[in-house]
Structure 1
Amino acid sequence: MSSSSQTADGPVVGQRRRYRFGPAGQVGLGREFTAKALRDWGLADDELLDEDVRLIVSELVSNACLHAGGPIELVVTLKQTAVRVEVFDAGQGAPQPRSPHQSSRPGGHGLHIVGRLSSQWGVEPTDGGKAVWAEIARPADVG
């Protein structure tokens, strides 16, 4: 990764940031890491995008903590039309939104939030578990 994240024309599409999780503080550290990447890419000025991306990171990391023994790695990628977030863990199986979704009940809202805020999301198996990912659309006038 180069030290410069932007050119005179804006952020560099295709840039990827990786964060390996330690034993504690996963959600907060994941949010901070993501916020820095968005600032470096000049995207933090869009409050809605910034908040949506950080909320999705919180939900995916929380789900890894609750259901998969904790996250291993967070990858944030700047795409032409979206910001892609991937959370890798050692868990097996594919998480599914709780159905039927009942907004008045505590818990079980994470994947519904991810689905509402992202343009698409999914699960991909990896050698040691899985990656749960989401893509959040960038404003049309950026990149």
Structure 2
Amino acid sequence: MSTTEPYSPDADEPPIGQVRRLRLAGASGAVPRARDFARTALGDWGWLPAVTADQRAAVEDVLLVVSELVTNACLHAGGPDELRLRLAAKLIRVEVADLGPGTPAPRTPHRAARPGGHGMFIVQRLCLQWGVERSVDSLGKTVWAELAAPL
């Protein structure tokens, strides 16, 4: 189930401050569902169709980060609980909540030729910043990443 916080659309301005949520707990095919959901949100927010190379790169970066964070939750945290996308004036914040106790980190040292373990390294390279917020009740966490909006 997905939800969208309401806003009044204006043809000239993106819906700054809008949040989109997709419940993923127990869902099969979480990664493709999350990517499709993100692609739809980006379209609604005016990021698509991407006309310039910079706009296309920004969209692909968001979709890749969504994929990597959801995949990480699937592999290491018992599955994602919820995907949230938050639109701000100059960035988008991707959040994936899960119930897992671990803390994701890029593999150090990063070895490009070695299979697996590249997800958080990719997130670190593509994002302005990223981090982990623990749930108030100590059950789980939210892994978040912020990317610049296309020019």
TM-score bracket, shorter-length normalisation: over 0.9
Q: Does 1:36 align with 2:47?
A: no
- How far residue 139 of structure 1 moved from its aligned partner, in angstroms, is 2.7
Q: Does 1:137 align with 2:140?
A: no
Moved over 4 A (4+): none
The residue aligned with 1:110 is: 119
The residue aligned with 2:76 is: 67
Distance in 2, matches of 1:95 and 1:33, equals 23
Q: Match of 2:21, SS?
A: strand
Q: TM-score under structure 1 normalisation?
A: 0.92
The residue aligned with 1:18 is: 21
Q: Given that residues 62 and 147 in structure 2 are in contact (C-alpha distance below 8 angstroms), is that contact kept between their aligned partners in structure 1? A: yes
- How far residue 36 of structure 1 moved from its aligned partner, in angstroms, is 0.3
Q: Given that residues 34 and 70 in structure 2 are in contact (C-alpha distance below 8 angstroms), is that contact kept between their aligned partners in structure 1? A: yes
Residue of 81, 90, 98 corresponding to 2:107: 98
The residue aligned with 1:8 is: 11
Q: What is the identity, as a one-letter code, of the residue corresponding to 1:17?
A: R
Distance in 2, matches of 1:138 and 1:94, equals 27
The unaligned stretches of length 5 or more in structure 2 are: none
Distance in 2, matches of 1:120 and 1:97, equals 13
Greater CA deviation, 19-28 or 31-40?
19-28
Distance in 2, matches of 1:11 and 1:48, equals 19
The residue aligned with 1:120 is: 129
Distance in 2, matches of 1:3 and 1:14, equals 9
- How far residue 3 of structure 1 moved from its aligned partner, in angstroms, is 6.7
Distance in 1, matches of 2:41 and 2:15, equals 12
State, as a whole percentage, how many aligned pairs show the same letter: 55
Q: TM-score under structure 2 normalisation?
A: 0.88
The unaligned stretches of length 5 or more in structure 1 are: none
Where do residues 53-92 of structure 1 align in structure 2 (5 Å cutoff)?
A: 53-92=62-101
